[in-house]
Amino acid sequence: MDDIFEAEDKSKKKIHLTKERWKHILKEHPELSNKSESIKAIITNPEITKTSKYDKNVKWYYAYDKNRKSSAKYILVAVKYLNGSGFIITVFYTKKVGR
């Protein structure tokens, strides 16, 4: 599988972003095209972490982007965990941290 990057979360689990997922993310959210290093940094050192209310195997990692001009200033990185490691399923900007 071709990866854009691999990083470790705070619990030392490996997280990867595949080329296929990155292509999908950029198709839906082209404003993230220059944010791959920021996404990697969010995985390794998130400001906020939540477990998805829809799937207990999905964690939401957040960071605040103070330089963004839009009202949606939080970057959300959604990671699905399976078999001891994780993969990024989506990334997007949001106005607030989910509950």
Mean pLDDT of 20-49: 95
Task: Look at residue 64 and tell me whether its pLDDT is greater than 90.
Answer: yes
Task: Look at residue 99 and tell me whether its pLDDT is greater than 70.
Answer: no
- pTM value > 0.85: yes
Question: Which residues are within 8 A (CB) of 59 and not within 5 positions of it... i.e. 6 or more apart?
Answer: 9, 49, 50, 51, 52, 78, 79, 81, 86
The pLDDT, as a whole number, for residue 30 is 95
The pLDDT, as a whole number, for residue 1 is 57
pLDDT above 90 covers a percentage of the chain that reads 88
Task: Collapse the DSSP code of 23 into the 3-class scheme (helix H, G, I; strand E, B; otherwise coil) and give the result.
Answer: helix
pLDDT in tens, 39-62: 999 999 999 999 999 999 999 999
**DSSP for residue 67:** T
Please say whether the beta carbons of 98 and 53 come within 8 A: yes
